[in-house]
Amino acid sequence: MRSSHLNQQRVRTAEDGSVELRGLTRNFGDDDILKGIDLTIPDGQFVALLGRSGSGKSTLLRAIAGLDHSVAGSGLLRVPERTAMVFQDSRLLPWQRVLPNVLYGQPRSARPRGVDLLAEVGLAGREKSWPNSLSGGEQQRVSLARALAGEPQLLLADEPFGALDALTRIKMHGLLRTLVRTHRPTVLLVTHDVDEAISLAQRVLVLQSGRIGRDVTIDLPEPRDATDPGFQRIRRDLLAALGVEQTAPQPVP
Ligand SMILES: Nc1ncnc2c1ncn2[C@@H]1O[C@H](COP(=O)(O)OP(=O)(O)OP(=O)(O)O)[C@@H](O)[C@H]1O
């Protein structure tokens, strides 16, 4: 019998950055959003998650992040001990300067790491700036630095570049690639952008009708070229899985 308010899942801690979900369900009232997700993500893999609006991508991410204890559902989750999340909006504290934002929740001893991370995201010298003096892209850079401050084994990203203009987004792709190469977290990135998913990820999942409908390994060499026939074949496949007819070539960023 389904509980209307109790979360009946079991959560275990993974030994590394891997994620394992078995029969994960989530429902809001009578709406079954996740209908028994089975998913294994090995330590260090970069996975992108696509799905139509309302398909449950954020619900899945929040379940993995443990941000939904009051939501009804069941299943088994095995998740890393240290997990960080970034969102479409930077969620910086406006009354704190940049460095304290990066170090939020960290011990004082993490200060040098915070300074280094700001340099890594291209914001050296901006420690004392106020968040509202930064551009949207810069604020997302701070939010990435903050996410990495706790040395996460798993980075969950919910459309982190969705509100940025196309050029800034491409720069942020390069930054994320570099950060992931340096810090090596497992990544689960939710995006609406099929090209973003193929450009960045080693594996792309499509959430369909509450389950993982497609699971595609991206074995294209890097840097990836959207005009490459292999790239376009994967794009056609994913767009079809999303129910989008590709009538004209997509503009190449
Ligand atoms: N707290 C809530 N209460 C009731 N229904 C909810 C709640 N949160 C999400 N939903 C519903 O669950 C479904 C999945 O929502 P979710 O935000 O996970 O989808 P999504 O794939 O991330 O969508 P989008 O791409 O538009 O952000 C939607 O139909 C949404 O209306």
By the 8 A CB rule, do 5 and 72 touch?
yes
Residue 39 located in a structural domain: yes
Residue 238 sits in the same domain as residue 114: no
The answer on pLDDT for 143 being more than 60 is yes
- Per the document, the length of the chain is 253
Residue 160 sits in the same domain as residue 216: yes
Residue 179 sits in the same domain as residue 237: yes
Residue 146 sits in the same domain as residue 180: no
Q: Please choose, from the candidates 12, 18, 10, the residue with its C-alpha nearest in 3D space to the C-alpha of residue 153.
A: 18
Write down the pTM of the prediction: 0.94
Is-cis flag, bond preceding 223, omega within 30? Answer: yes
The answer on pLDDT for 250 being more than 70 is no
Residue 68 sits in the same domain as residue 159: yes
Residue 36 sits in the same domain as residue 159: yes
Cα(155) to ligand 1 centroid in Å equals 21
ipTM of this predicted structure: 0.97
- Cα–chain center distance at 176: 11
Residue 37 located in a structural domain: yes
Domain end position, chosen among 150, 171, 190: 150
Cα(32) to ligand 1 centroid in Å equals 11
- DSSP secondary structure code for residue 128 in this structure: T
State which residues form the domain around 167.
29-82+152-244
Residue 167 sits in the same domain as residue 235: yes
Spatial separation of the C-alpha atoms in residues 128 and 97, rounded to whole Å: 5
Residue 226 sits in the same domain as residue 123: no
Residue 160 located in a structural domain: yes
Residue 117 located in a structural domain: yes
Spatial separation of the C-alpha atoms in residues 177 and 172, rounded to whole Å: 8
pLDDT tens digits for range 87-105: 999 999 999 999 999 999 9
**Which ligand 1 atom is at minimum distance from the Cα of 59?**
18
- DSSP secondary structure code for residue 185 in this structure: -
Closest CA to ligand 1's atom 29? 54
Residue 189 located in a structural domain: yes
What's the confidence (pLDDT) of residue 219? 96
Domain end position, chosen among 150, 167, 197: 150
pLDDT tens digits for range 196-246: 999 999 999 999 999 999 999 999 999 899 999 999 999 999 999 999 876
Closest CA to ligand 1's atom 7? 28
With a 6 Å cutoff on the Cβ, whether 186 touches ligand 1 is no
Give the chain's domain count.
2
Spatial separation of the C-alpha atoms in residues 61 and 72, rounded to whole Å: 15
- Residue 175 CB neighbour total at 10 angstroms: 18
Domain end position, chosen among 150, 170, 200: 150
**Which ligand 1 atom is at minimum distance from the Cα of 51?**
21
CATH of the domain at 174: 3.40.50.300
With a 6 Å cutoff on the Cβ, whether 160 touches ligand 1 is no
Q: What is the mean pLDDT of the chain?
A: 93
With a 6 Å cutoff on the Cβ, whether 210 touches ligand 1 is no
Q: Please choose, from the candidates 160, 130, 126, 129, the residue with its C-alpha nearest in 3D space to the C-alpha of residue 143.
A: 160
Closest CA to ligand 1's atom 5? 28
State whether the Cα torsion 87-92-93-94 is positive or negative.
negative
Question: What pLDDT band is residue 80 in, cutting at 50, 70 and 90?
Answer: very high
With a 6 Å cutoff on the Cβ, whether 191 touches ligand 1 is no
Residue 175 sits in the same domain as residue 128: no
**Which ligand 1 atom is at minimum distance from the Cα of 55?**
21
Residue 174 sits in the same domain as residue 223: yes
Residue 64 sits in the same domain as residue 105: no
Spatial separation of the C-alpha atoms in residues 249 and 62, rounded to whole Å: 34
Residue 132 sits in the same domain as residue 228: no
Rounded average pLDDT over 59-79: 92
State whether the Cα torsion 130-189-46-136 is positive or negative.
negative
Cα(72) to ligand 1 centroid in Å equals 14
With a 6 Å cutoff on the Cβ, whether 199 touches ligand 1 is no
The answer on pLDDT for 127 being more than 60 is yes
